Structure 1
Amino acid sequence: MRDEPLPNTDPLDKHPLIRAPELAGGIWLDETPRSLHDLLARGPLLLDFWDFSCVNCVRTLPYLAAWYERYHPLGLNVVGVHTPEFAFGRDPEVVRRAADDLDIPYPVLLDPDRTLWYAYAVKAWPTLFLIDRAGRIRYTHVGEGGYTTTERAIQALLREDQPTLALPEPLAPLRPGDREGAVCYPTTPELYAGWAHGRLGHADDWQRDQVHHFTDPLAHEEGVLYFQGAWRPTVEYAEFVGEEGHVRVCYRAAELNAVMASLTGEPIRVFILQNGEPLHFADAGEDVIVDADYGSYVLVREPRMYNLVNNPDYGVFEVRLVPARRGLALYAFSFVPCTRPTEG
């Protein structure tokens, strides 16, 4: 169950001590520079520190878009500060395409060198800051969830300027997993495939940034990556460079995502097997194609997060990804623990 305030609870900090740093050092994707002063001239500001390859960030975006539609006409500005986790997220064109694909309606400021990330002392994606017209941080939320709390903070700040403003009831949950009755279980932590933070279940003497011919062992531990075939582990990702191979992971969750890219620029078909079998339609993620001839697979081209598995029930699963050809870069796996509420 989500922790939400009582209906009349005001979540704003009444005695703020922190002034918001200036929005300097970034790249506005629409090429329209904005200062903090300019943004606050018409009303409060909601800042979202996010990354388009982060599952928690992507799951928060529909609420941000809805708040922008509801409250921008009443004075609220929203800015997405894209602070990249991986190197590809520093490219303005890549981020611009991702923002367009995600239908983000508000301005996005690229923070390629984490200048604003450090200025605002951000520790995790996503982090939201609500700033009043005097430039003071009045509300902070880390992670997804707490949507009703955040919306009531937005409304409270708008009413400070416009006490008689008529405002709607907070949004109803936009996803089944956010509704009352949904259950969130302990899940496998995010897994990285690069050598800097990765958990590779191999005792071989493989070398960083060098091609190695991996052998998938018979025993598999949860939350560890096991490779088969020729792969090259780099600082951020593992690159498939062989003719035949796979990566296998055992995990506990309801939903599975993977950050992947094609290093050749051409689409790469990646087959997906769960517990040794192709995915059924009911379990396939949004990016998966289920085909009678090919089984279940995803076409990987641009660097982003791909939604692979969406089981209706939480459980312990094993997934194997099989690239059809070389050039695949695997960055990370992420997991969603919440299940849909039982209907009726």
Structure 2
Amino acid sequence: MKLRDEMPEFVGVTEWVNGSVTKEELRGSPVLVHFWAISCHLCKESLPMLNEWREKYKDHGLKIVGVHMPRSEKDTEIGPVKETIAQYNLQHPIAIDNQHAVTDAFENQYVPAFYLFDQDLKLRHFQAGEKGLKLVQRRLHRILGIEETEA
């Protein structure tokens, strides 16, 4: 995806956890789409930060959608994915994408990967790798209209 591209639809999802969501239901809110895999150690390190952001920015309208992108045959086992979701207390909608349909729609190749969309669902920032969370947060503040001193 290129900057300013519109968010793709969430098509071909194997199973939703914590409720499903459509692109149209997200329109009007800034959205962070997070790709991760249970076999990715860096992904698991970033999950607590997503919970923190979910709580910290909910009054600013932020919506978070997770996409579990399996990296191996073992990653396609739904039970362990659901256990990890429960273990990390993830409460936002998460698409289990065993067929890589959502992954392909987003043209994503990485985990963890973060796609930040504005309220018009235009891509405003992309970041891959756990070390980029500070950059994601900085761009998130800009989209939400939060001064850095407020954070």
The 8 Å contact of residues 88 and 94 in structure 1, kept in 2 or not, is answered as no
For residues 167 and 70 of structure 1, the distance between their equivalents in structure 2, rounded to whole angstroms, comes to 14
1:35 aligns with 2:22: yes
- Higher fraction of strand: 1
1:8-47 map, 5 Å: 16-26=3-13, 27-30=15-18, 32-41=19-28, 43-47=29-33
CA distance in 1, matches of 2:17, 2:97: 11
Q: Does 1:129 align with 2:129?
A: no
- TM-score normalised over the length of structure 1: 0.41
Q: How does 1:222-301 map to 2 (within 5 A)?
A: none
Which structure has the larger Rg? 1
Q: Indicate the residue corresponding to 1:95 in structure 2.
A: 81
Give me the whole-angstrom Cα distance separating, in 2, the residues matched to 1:16 and 1:84: 25
Return the match for 2:124 from 122, 138, 142: 138
Are the equivalent residues in 2 in contact too, given 1:29–1:92 (CA < 8 A)?
Answer: no
Q: Offset of 1:167 from its aligned partner?
A: 7.0
Percent identity, aligned pairs only, is 26
SS at match of 1:145: helix
The one-letter code sitting in structure 2 at the alignment partner of 1:139 is H
Q: 1:168 to 1:23 in 2, by over 3 A?
A: farther
Aligned to 1:65: 51
Task: Quote the offset at 1:166 in angstroms.
Answer: 6.7
1:158 aligns with 2:141: no
How many Å separate the matches in 2 of 1:131 and 1:18?
9
Alpha-carbon contact 2:48-2:88 (below 8 Å) kept: no
Q: One-letter code of the match for 1:36?
A: K
The residue that corresponds to 2:39 in the other structure is 53
Q: Give the letter aligned to residue 131 of structure 1.
A: F
Q: Which has the higher helix share?
A: 2
| RMSD of aligned alpha carbons | 2.0
Number of corresponding residues = 149
Runs of 4+ in 1 over 6 A off after TM superposition: none
Structure number with greater CO (CA < 8 Å, separation at least 6) is 2
Give unmatched runs, 5+ long, in structure 2. Answer: none
| Corresponding position of 1:257 | none
Q: State the TM-score, normalizing by the size of structure 2.
A: 0.88
